[in-house]
Chains A and B, each alone.
Chain A
């Protein structure tokens, strides 16, 4: 008992001795430092810019690597501006005989992108650059030396060098490296001249365990012009290529890093470019422990950049231009902590230990409230804490697709089209968004979400096959109209008029959790409105993918996040030559329309403007008529942030936005102390309760021990 009390006292004394809030998960010395605190739910698989593609990876690579262009932080619609580039790439079009053309068109045989980078940009300090006379200090470590290296810090010397055009060329070559398996190799092989052949050449040259010096192998589609200029040759015309240039896939990688990381003893210990990135960006990764914490710190060699001086209307009033022209980045360090569960994550945000947060379904009711008119706003407790809410269209679509190869729901027949249109009306996505997405979405009117060129608001943007324009807003057509369409299709009351058998549609999904039953039942009810039986075929993702590849699905649910803000990146999901079954492409519905394909080929090469809008309108009209998808919903991203977090504007395309964030550390410290005062008295109460419970037993024990047997 004495030991227990002593331990408890010691614990209390120890806790009292702690500085600041007791529940602060960060070291006390960090309290007033200029640090942004964030989290990650799953460890990033890849940080190598040739491989990394997932959104949880680009959070890191986006801050470290600098492609030649970037998205303007504030302007909408999204606009590309130079980053490491001295100017935007110049684009020239050529015909088959090598004559330069005035612009993109059918005669274009190839396109040249000439890119000039800014001189004087330096890489972050890194051991790969340390020279030893004519050689490099760490490039040829002996086996015993390699055995002594456990992290990059075990190579104590660091150096830097200037960024040159060759580094961008080197990275483009890395996309074809056989050991890297870059996810965009297949796609880029169709555009970058000679990349497919280059990939085969490297495959033959590559020997497992040996470094392949890509400088020794030339790629016809990439040419060095001078120290700071290079050209990329694109087969035909691909105007969307410039968006790819804003992604880390086309960021520079110094050959020295590739050489250093090629040593087998380092690879064995995960000391690779996939784990320790090397860039020129505002931040560098200094701690990489994805089981616990990843830390990025200010790159001392950063070439400097200024906060934008202009934005879209309303940005000035919203305070987004307070820091206009000031040097970036504002913060010194970003700490990402692994947070797998939503409950502790949410509570730490409320305690002030994370600076910003998304909203999970669990915390939605606490965070968001609806007023009498149904308008969404922050809950009272959030407002009391000074938390602010930002909502942004996420540039993504979640749809239900019909397999157009299916004899019942697919094909170009009038019967199948009317059936698809009837189902499109019956599946009430407004209700789905309200029930299952907490209102975080918009019912889709077509394939293009808000924020993408070609999207139209209001009556102009309405899908007339599913909605009517009533009192200035869209209204889903009545179920009676859907029933009439179904009858016209030859299924009155949901039964085949010829056979009398009930119409059954199979719905392939990947639903594994107990919560999924609710939305599956909801889908069944939507089809029941028409008398159609919906048979849910639930499976894991692997089998689902297999079914889609083989064309064995009838109706399915899928989604798409934009790679870049261009309508081509959505419409190509319905392009015939991208059909999943026949061409292993991304067109999961296997929609094939000669008319659509012609329109798509036309619009994909057009610059944004009224002419392109007209073609897009025609394309979307055709798609709405053919209804290969139930258009589903556009998701809306919700973000909460504390009052000390400045300059936050959601940019769904840019991935290098941490440099714009500013933190009022003094205010954060003050709020954390206010919100987290330790409450000690219950400990004393618990000790007392335990003593009261034990005391009678102890007394009884003593009495029994002293009892004399008579």
Chain B
């Protein structure tokens, strides 16, 4: 397995270089360094000299990928791409275009994102699994049918509706929790309870239906019939046998998102005023702050790859038949 992990980690390098090149190309097609300078320096009284100085200060006055004025290896290294990319591989994100330390910003903003995302994931998973097993247990009955209809209804409603509706009902009409805001530490609970509930409810439709399908597939297998034939109760069959065997597809969906949790949720964080990472990238795109965009895309790619490797490893834990080689 170690050899497998090392091999997978070695694949990471070309993938990240590719992601970086793509990010660069896409970003600079839309935003030239001049655009970035104008965005940072403001709209009023900006002279061309100020724009040139700003670019020179940040190294944006050089070519993007190839510096024809240099010789040898410097043609590739004395470029915006090289200068900005190499440091990323040691997780040195540098400074944003308006002078902030990106690493510091990320380390501060990841905690509120996690405070929202982890409970939403865990509670959501428990609720979805329970609901799905309930439907699977009563398959073909009115409970199953009602459950499926409910899931379809929940899936059909926009996430934004849950947020606005939840804020309206719980905060505005019932006055139970603050409509938005955040406080660090234990005081965060009263700001998180509503977005977590909304996140869980919003995810029931698709989650529970998917898990129900997995459980039904498993229930139809021979080993379940055997388990029943030897006299095991339905509870035992479902929890000890069906759930265990259904874990592989469930893990595929769950483990891969665990590292991405700290990237946050844009809409949820924005509406509830939670100072997480969700809006960090979008704000940076609006501000044309390439340093942040590049860092967040890089980080997102790394985390996604880590998530995939973790998923592979988790397979071996839940299914002894799977070997990584």
Q: With A269-B101, A341-B270 in contact, is A183–B45 under 8 Å at CB?
A: yes
Q: Count B interface residues, CB 8 Å.
A: 64
CB of B290 within 8 Å of the partner chain: no
In the assembled complex, the CB of B28 is this many whole angstroms from the nearest CB of chain A, namely 12
Q: What are the residues of chain B within 8 A of A43 when measuring CB–CB?
A: 283
Q: What are the residues of chain A within 8 A of B233 when measuring CB–CB?
A: 705
Q: Across the interface, do A679 and B41 meet the contact criterion of CB distance under 8 Å?
A: no
0/1 interface trace, chain A 171-213, chain B, CB 8 Å (1 if under): 0000000110101111100000000000000010000000000
Q: What are the residues of chain A within 8 A of B104 when measuring CB–CB?
A: 268-270
A535 to B139 Cα, complex, angstroms: 60
CB of A291 within 8 Å of the partner chain: yes
Q: With A46-B98, A187-B45, A274-B99 in contact, is A291–B109 under 8 Å at CB?
A: yes
Q: What are the residues of chain A within 8 A of B191 when measuring CB–CB?
A: 25
Q: What are the residues of chain B within 8 A of A540 when measuring CB–CB?
A: 30
A697 to B150 Cα, complex, angstroms: 15
Task: Name the one of A23, A46, A181, A351 contacting B57, with C-beta atoms under 8 angstroms.
Answer: A181
Q: Across the interface, do A22 and B177 meet the contact criterion of CB distance under 8 Å?
A: yes
Q: What are the residues of chain B within 8 A of A272 when measuring CB–CB?
A: 99
Within 8 A of B (CB), among A120-179: 178-179
Q: With A15-B176, A270-B100 in contact, is A291–B275 under 8 Å at CB?
A: yes
A42 to B280 Cα, complex, angstroms: 11
Within 8 A of A (CB), among B270-291: 270-273, 275, 279, 283, 287-288
Q: Across the interface, do B137 and A701 meet the contact criterion of CB distance under 8 Å?
A: yes
Q: Across the interface, do A705 and B234 meet the contact criterion of CB distance under 8 Å?
A: yes
0/1 interface trace, chain A 19-32, chain B, CB 8 Å (1 if under): 00111110100000
Q: Across the interface, do A347 and B172 meet the contact criterion of CB distance under 8 Å?
A: yes
Q: Across the interface, do A676 and B57 meet the contact criterion of CB distance under 8 Å?
A: no
Q: What are the residues of chain B within 8 A of A704 when measuring CB–CB?
A: 234
0/1 interface trace, chain B 23-61, chain A, CB 8 Å (1 if under): 000000011100100101110111111100110010000
In the assembled complex, the CB of A478 is this many whole angstroms from the nearest CB of chain B, namely 38
CB of A338 within 8 Å of the partner chain: yes
0/1 interface trace, chain A 257-273, chain B, CB 8 Å (1 if under): 00000000000111010
Q: Give chain A's interface residues, CB within 8 Å of chain B.
A: 11, 15, 18, 21-25, 27, 42-43, 45-46, 53-54, 178-179, 181, 183-187, 203, 268-270, 272, 274-275, 289, 291-292, 337-341, 343-345, 347-348, 351, 353, 540, 542, 545, 563, 584, 586, 676-680, 682-683, 696-697, 700-701, 704-705
Q: Across the interface, do A700 and B138 meet the contact criterion of CB distance under 8 Å?
A: yes
Q: Across the interface, do A697 and B175 meet the contact criterion of CB distance under 8 Å?
A: no
A268 to B44 Cα, complex, angstroms: 29
Q: Across the interface, do B143 and A697 meet the contact criterion of CB distance under 8 Å?
A: yes
**Would you give 24 A-B contacts (Cβ < 8 Å), ordered by A?**
A23-B175, A42-B283, A53-B42, A181-B41, A185-B50, A186-B47, A186-B49, A268-B101, A268-B104, A291-B108, A292-B182, A292-B184, A341-B180, A341-B270, A344-B167, A344-B179, A351-B172, A542-B35, A584-B47, A676-B175, A679-B173, A679-B174, A705-B233, A705-B234
Q: What are the residues of chain A within 8 A of B31 when measuring CB–CB?
A: 542
CB of B222 within 8 Å of the partner chain: no
In the assembled complex, the CB of A75 is this many whole angstroms from the nearest CB of chain B, namely 26
Q: What are the residues of chain B within 8 A of A338 when measuring CB–CB?
A: 273, 275
Within 8 A of A (CB), among B172-195: 172-184, 187, 190-191, 193
A563 to B44 Cα, complex, angstroms: 10
A272 to B175 Cα, complex, angstroms: 41
A303 to B141 Cα, complex, angstroms: 78
In the assembled complex, the CB of A359 is this many whole angstroms from the nearest CB of chain B, namely 18
B45, B47, B171, B184: most-surrounded residue (chain A CB, <10 A): B45
Find the A residue at minimum CB distance from B169: A682
CB of B122 within 8 Å of the partner chain: no
Q: Give chain B's interface residues, CB within 8 Å of chain A.
A: 30-32, 35, 38, 40-42, 44-50, 53-54, 57, 98-101, 104-105, 108-109, 112, 134, 137-138, 141, 143, 164, 167, 171-184, 187, 190-191, 193, 233-235, 270-273, 275, 279, 283, 287-288
Q: What are the residues of chain B within 8 A of A274 when measuring CB–CB?
A: 98-99
A54 to B41 Cα, complex, angstroms: 10
Find the A residue at minimum CB distance from B270: A340
In the assembled complex, the CB of A691 is this many whole angstroms from the nearest CB of chain B, namely 14
Q: What are the residues of chain A within 8 A of B32 when measuring CB–CB?
A: 542
Task: Name the one of B40, B48, B164 contacting A584, with C-beta atoms under 8 angstroms.
Answer: B48
Q: What are the residues of chain B within 8 A of A337 when measuring CB–CB?
A: 181, 273
Q: Across the interface, do B53 and A178 meet the contact criterion of CB distance under 8 Å?
A: yes
Q: What are the residues of chain A within 8 A of B143 when measuring CB–CB?
A: 696-697, 700
Q: What are the residues of chain A within 8 A of B41 when measuring CB–CB?
A: 181, 183
Q: Across the interface, do A679 and B176 meet the contact criterion of CB distance under 8 Å?
A: yes
Q: With A181-B50, A186-B50, A344-B271 in contact, is A697–B187 under 8 Å at CB?
A: no
Find the A residue at minimum CB distance from B137: A701
Return the 3 tightest CB-CB contacts between A and B, nearest first. Answer: A186-B47, A291-B275, A25-B181
Q: What are the residues of chain A within 8 A of B272 when measuring CB–CB?
A: 344
Q: Across the interface, do B42 and A54 meet the contact criterion of CB distance under 8 Å?
A: yes
Q: Across the interface, do B179 and A351 meet the contact criterion of CB distance under 8 Å?
A: yes
Q: What are the residues of chain A within 8 A of B112 when measuring CB–CB?
A: 292
A25 to B179 Cα, complex, angstroms: 8
Find the A residue at minimum CB distance from B94: A268
Q: What are the residues of chain B within 8 A of A25 when measuring CB–CB?
A: 178-181, 191
Q: Across the interface, do A27 and B178 meet the contact criterion of CB distance under 8 Å?
A: no
Q: What are the residues of chain B within 8 A of A53 when measuring CB–CB?
A: 42, 44
A700 to B134 Cα, complex, angstroms: 11
